[in-house]
Amino acid sequence: MRFLLGLLMLGVTGMAYSQASQQPYTVTINTPHETIKSGDEVPIHVVLKNVSDHDIGIDRVPHTSSADCDYRIEVQGINGNIVYENAENCWHSLGLGTDRNVLYLKPGETLAGDTTITKLLHTSTEEDGSIKKTKIFDFTTPGEYVVQFLRTDVYSTKKVYVPSNKITIIVLPADDTPPAKQ
């Protein structure tokens, strides 16, 4: 019985690995500040890497100063709820110029970008015509937050997201200082 269970688990693991390895690229994120004070900025560095054995076309070229417009960003808050922002909501052009909206990455090549997810805003128009801006991600409540970026080919027939690694951001009260390292 244990042998059959082991084979079944090996098969499921193999299927998951096979599905993951079919993606032509990986997404990796990191931050220089895993612990912040309430209200501080949360900068994120994003790297997309071609892990296939052939050139791949990136249909929306990641913009080096607006990486948030190229990825679905998910933040799991302290209460367990996930708040997200979809890249499709960005309205400004992110191409490399008027002549190229697609960039071809050779095997092993990367594209990198930076964003500050605490500065991402929803913009809406009020009834009186004024513009209202509200923060998408609120890192003012102390606690632990989990951040993940996901990317998909917007022209693909299947909406398959390639997830990044997850990083944890710890928010301390604004008046607290982290303990000194011994």
| Domain ranges, ordered by start, for the chain | 24-172
Name the residue with tokens 């052939």: 54
Q: Let me know if domain 24-172 sits in CATH 2.60.40.2970.
A: yes
- Contact between 70 and 151 under an 8 Å Cβ cutoff? The reply is yes
E strands, 2-135, where?
Answer: 25-30, 35-37, 43-50, 56-58, 72-76, 82-85, 103-105, 110-116, 121-125, 131-135
- Write out the chain's pLDDT in tens, 182 residues: 444 444 444 444 444 444 445 788 899 999 999 999 998 999 999 898 999 898 887 765 555 455 656 788 899 987 888 888 776 555 443 333 334 566 788 999 988 888 888 877 777 778 888 887 777 888 889 999 999 998 876 555 666 788 999 999 999 998 855 554 54
- pTM of the model as a whole: 0.72
